[in-house]
Amino acid sequence: MTQTHPHLHTARAILNRLIAFDTTSRNSNLELIDHVEAMLTAAGARCQRIVSPDGAKANLHAFIGPDIDGGVVLSGHTDVVPVDGQNWTCDPFDMIERDNRLYGRGTCDMKGFIACALAFAPAFASAFAAGSLKRPIHFALSYDEEVGCLGAPAMINSIMKQSPKPAIVFVGEPTNMKVVTAHKGLFSMRVCVQGQAGHSSLVNDGACAVTHAVPMMQYLVDAAANMKAAAPEDSPFDPPYGTLTIGRVQGGVAANILAAEASFDTLVRPAPWDDTDALETGLRDLAGRIETDMKTGAPRASITIDTRSDVPAFSREPDGAAERLARQLTGDNATHVVSYGTEAGQFQHAGLSVVVCGPGSISQAHQPDEFIEIDQMDQCCVFMERLVAHLER
């Protein structure tokens, strides 16, 4: 492969260093944030950390350029998924090259994009110093994306409360540098039913937690059918409707004992037209009625519903500014949507114009021997170079 872009060597070196930080979501990302913040500060960026409530992790927002609204955000998450139980043929945190591919945990998802963005920080700074950068470039690096997009909301809130406010966001998840304009969301709940153990013949003296969990699960099964029926005929998704599954159920010790406890987890991947607020409200209303019935025979009975993730779907914007610019920078004019989730919906919900576009293939994400094609890194460098030129106009 011919490595055509002069910034590719720098991007690869940065990626090599980023991979060495084990930022699996269960770990702190602060060492990586320290490293990246030092790089951006050296390039002249103004940096701000948005620290997690426990202080163990941080988002990083930085920008280079004039203090005016209307800039562009390069968004990426710093955490990676675990390698536990995966059969790697190389050290996942020591990047290697084989067959024009760069192997390591996070190369594709999504430190490759972050490395390309950082490689161009000096170019953005030089343009600003020369007085040619008309709008700022923002870097938005989050934590805990892989466990429910938990870190980004506080960072987005901070960005939108300060000046300069950006207008466009490029979320650099792996899309093979194609322009993705919509995706499904992620919404999950855990339902826990506390009943009262007793003999199975004495149903009036206890509250069987499993029995009372069933109507709530049936409500969700019916909701899944309604989501399927509500999908428009021209839905671009695969499958074309939002999905709802109950992935875990626990409870009971024997058929002849009223179950003292039961719990189940449900996960929804809503399409942009699905209403998860109404879904949750309906479930909570039903749970309240069931809990009242349970307390008749078991005064200490209770039902709790914990919303564990709530990541909005990402909708295509009619004549969206981010889409127009991304197509200009990539030359991609086809329509692409995906069923996996990103932080794009969170940025969009804050009022920003968003697309998802980054190097690498989602088929490599979360896999053993994760890799990114060097050519994809090269294409991303070309994208960044064109972005510099665009912001100079």
Co-location of 86 and 221 in the same domain: no
Q: State the amino acid at position 153 in one-letter form.
A: P
Active site amino acids:
79, 145
140 three-state secondary structure: strand
Return the pLDDT at 3. Answer: 53
DSSP H or E run through 120: none
Same domain as 224, residue 80:
no
174 and 216 within one domain: no
CATH number at residue 218: 3.30.70.360
Residues 102 and 143 in one domain: yes
The answer on pLDDT for 358 being more than 70 is yes
pLDDT value, residue 203: 82
Residue 47 maps to a domain = yes
Query: Most distant CA pair in the chain: distance in Å?
Result: 84
In a domain, 264, yes or no: yes
Q: Check residue 216 and give its pLDDT.
A: 98
Residues 158, 155: Cα–Cα separation, whole Å: 5
Same domain, 96 and 169: yes
In a domain, 3, yes or no: no
- Confidence (pLDDT) at 204: 77
CB 364 within 8 A of CB 370: yes
Question: Is residue 104 one of the residues assigned to a domain?
Answer: yes
Q: Of 257, 280, 311, which marks where a domain is finished?
A: 311
Sign of CA dihedral 313, 318, 324, 327: positive
Query: How many domains is the chain partitioned into structurally?
Result: 2
Q: What is the CATH number of the domain that holds 18?
A: 3.40.630.10
Q: State how far the Cα of 89 lies from the Cα of 106, in Å rounded to an integer.
A: 15
Given 261, 279, 311, which residue is the final one in a domain? 311
**327 with 267, same domain?**
no
Gyration radius from the chain CA atoms: 24
pTM (global) more than 0.75:
yes
316 shares a domain with 300: no
Phi/psi-derived region of residue 124, left when phi > 0, alpha when psi is between -120 and 50, beta in every other case: alpha
Q: Residue 337 — very low, low, confident or very high, per pLDDT cuts 50/70/90?
A: very high
Residue 362's CB is within 10 A of a number of other CB atoms, namely: 17
The model's confidence at residue 1, banded by pLDDT at 50, 70 and 90, is very low
Show the domain range for 80. 8-183+312-391
Considering the domain boundaries, does residue 278 fall inside one? yes
Is residue 194 a contact partner of residue 295, using CB atoms and an 8 Å limit? Answer: no
pLDDT at residue number 2: 53
Answer whether residue 131 is part of any domain.
yes
- Could you tell me which residue, 4 or 76, shows the higher pLDDT? 76
Query: Do 65 and 139 lie in a common domain?
Result: yes
Q: What is the pLDDT at residue 188?
A: 96
pLDDT confidence of residue 319: 87
Say what percent of the chain tops pLDDT 90. Answer: 95
Looking at the domain assignment, is residue 1 inside a domain? no
Same domain, 52 and 171: yes
What's the pLDDT at 339? 85
Stretch 82-98: mean pLDDT, rounded? 97
